[in-house]
Chain A
Amino acid sequence: MHLDAGTLAAYSDGELSEPAAGRAARHLKSCRRCAEEAERIRAEREVALAADALFRLQCVPPQDGLERVRSCIQEWLRSAAAGGAMPASSAADLRRRIGAQLELYFGSETAALLEKVAPSRRPADDPIAAVEPLLTAFLGRKAAAAAIRQIMAGGAGRPTLAPDAA
Chain B
Amino acid sequence: MTENRPSPEGADWCAETTEREIILLYRENAAGLFRYGVVLARNREAAQDAVQEAFLRYFIARNGGQEVERPKAWLFQVVRNLLLDSLKASTKRREVGLEAACGRADARPDPESEYRLAEMSRRYWGLLSPRELECFRLRAEGLRYQEIAEVLVLRPGTVGALLARVQKKIREEHEGSRRAAVFVERELPHAP
| Chain A–chain B contact at Cβ < 8 A | yes
Among B82, B116, B156, residue most surrounded by chain A Cβ atoms (within 10 Å)? B82
Number of chain B interface residues as a range: 35 or more
CB-CB contacts below 8 Å: A8-62 with B: 8-10, 13, 15, 40-41, 44, 46-52, 54-62
Contact partners of B161 in chain A: CB under 8 A: 5-6, 9
Count contacts on A: residues with CB < 8 A to the other chain. Answer: 61
Q: How far is the CA of A161 from the CA of B140 in the complex (A)?
A: 27
The number of A-B residue pairs with CB atoms under 8 Å apart is: 177
Tell me whether A51 and B124 are in contact (CB under 8 A). yes
Q: B23 touches which one: A44, A55, A62, A66 (CB < 8 A)?
A: A66
Between A and B, 21 residue pairs with Cβ closer than 8 Å are: A4-B164, A6-B164, A9-B163, A9-B164, A47-B188, A50-B187, A50-B188, A55-B98, A61-B51, A66-B27, A69-B26, A69-B52, A70-B22, A73-B55, A77-B15, A87-B64, A87-B65, A141-B49, A141-B82, A148-B57, A153-B64
Tell me whether B113 and A57 are in contact (CB under 8 A). yes
Tell me whether A60 and B1 are in contact (CB under 8 A). no
Tell me whether A70 and B19 are in contact (CB under 8 A). yes
Contact partners of A88 in chain B: CB under 8 A: 1, 64
Q: How far is the CA of A132 from the CA of B116 in the complex (A)?
A: 37
Tell me whether B77 and A129 are in contact (CB under 8 A). yes
Contact partners of A58 in chain B: CB under 8 A: 99, 102-104, 113-114, 117
Tell me whether B51 and A65 are in contact (CB under 8 A). yes
Contact partners of A89 in chain B: CB under 8 A: 1-3
Interface of A, secondary structure class, is helix
Q: How far is the CA of A55 from the CA of B102 in the complex (A)?
A: 8
- The 0/1 profile, CB within 8 Å of B marked 1, for residues 146-166 of chain A is 001100110001001110011
B153 to A: closest C-beta gap in Å: 8
Contact partners of B140 in chain A: CB under 8 A: 48-49, 52
Tell me whether A61 and B48 are in contact (CB under 8 A). yes
Chain A residues in contact with chain B, CB under 8 A?
A: 4-10, 13, 15, 40-41, 44, 46-52, 54-63, 65-66, 68-70, 72-73, 76-77, 86-90, 126, 129, 132-133, 136-137, 141, 145, 148-149, 152-153, 157, 160-162, 165-166
Contact partners of A87 in chain B: CB under 8 A: 1, 60, 63-66
Q: Which residue of B lies closest to A58 (CB)?
A: B102
B41 to A: closest C-beta gap in Å: 10
Interface of B, secondary structure class, is helix
Q: A15 touches which one: B120, B136, B160 (CB < 8 A)?
A: B160
Tell me whether A10 and B160 are in contact (CB under 8 A). yes
Tell me whether B113 and A149 are in contact (CB under 8 A). no
Q: B57 touches which one: A47, A61, A149 (CB < 8 A)?
A: A149
Tell me whether A56 and B35 are in contact (CB under 8 A). yes
Tell me whether A59 and B85 are in contact (CB under 8 A). no
Tell me whether A165 and B34 are in contact (CB under 8 A). no
A40 to B: closest C-beta gap in Å: 8
B157 to A: closest C-beta gap in Å: 7
Q: How far is the CA of A160 from the CA of B82 in the complex (A)?
A: 13
